[in-house]
Structure 1
């Protein structure tokens, strides 16, 4: 299995709620630079948080890749979701090549959990893209292959 974990691009500092924060122009550029890393990857699904900035980031990636399947929005990719819950959802999907678009602290915690079995992963700035690989999406059983920071 190959799992790609993308943090949304830079977002506005304020909005009516955290979920409504939109990408800045710089955040859109960051998302497109990360999308370029994914060119040629045989993604089966793009899964995103329902928050506006993650939806915008996923939409930019979707368009840049010319992805022919719909974007999947799920409630289990919000900032404070337990990484173990995300791992269980990934297992249910049963796919081999997936992109997740989410937020801090979840993205770092998830990468750490999958790679080392504990929720202390690498720092991931806006639009950072982690590539993990392993036989199963289980805690401590995946390898961090690359980490791209635009």
Structure 2
């Protein structure tokens, strides 16, 4: 399985609730910049948190990539979701290549769990940070980290 993990783009600092925070113009630019890294891959599903900024990020990615399927919205990708529970949910999926759109601290904990087998390691995942993992199945400690990119590193390459 190839799993891409994308943290949402930069969001406004406050809203009526955390779940309602929207992407800023900078956040939209960050996500658009990162879309090029996914172009040409065999993405089969985009799975996103229900929070507005994650939904906006997923929709931007979908449009930029010309991905025709609907975004799958799940409640197990919110900021404080349990990464073990997320792995359990992923184990039930049949796709070979997926994009997860979520938040810190979940994205960092999930990366540490699938690569290192625990949640203690810190992986830098700024807004619109994108990790690519390859693994035989969604489980702790079995993934290879193929790449870890952020909008600043993508802009430097252009």
Deviations 1:5-61 (A, max 9, x none): 000000000100000000000000001111111000100100000000000000000
Shift of 1:121: 3.7
Deviations 1:59-86 (A, max 9, x none): 0000000001111000110000010000
Could you state the TM-score of these two structures normalised by the residue count of structure 1? 0.98
- In 1, Cα distance between equivalents of 2:66 and 2:141: 33
- Whether the 8 Å contact between 1:45 and 1:71 is mirrored in structure 2 is yes
Secondary structure of the equivalent of 2:30? Answer: helix
Secondary structure of the equivalent of 2:68? Answer: coil
- Give the structure 2 partner of residue 22 of structure 1: 22
- Give the structure 2 partner of residue 108 of structure 1: 108
- In 2, Cα distance between equivalents of 1:85 and 1:61: 25
Secondary structure of the equivalent of 1:93? Answer: coil
Moved more, 12-21 or 113-122: 113-122
- Give the structure 1 partner of residue 147 of structure 2: 146
The gaps in structure 2 that reach 5 residues or longer are 152-158
Shift of 1:94: 2.4
- Give the structure 2 partner of residue 2 of structure 1: 2
The gaps in structure 1 that reach 5 residues or longer are none
After the TM superposition, which segments of 4 or more aligned residues of structure 1 sit over 2 Å from their partners? none
Shift of 1:131: 0.3
Could you state the TM-score of these two structures normalised by the residue count of structure 2? 0.93
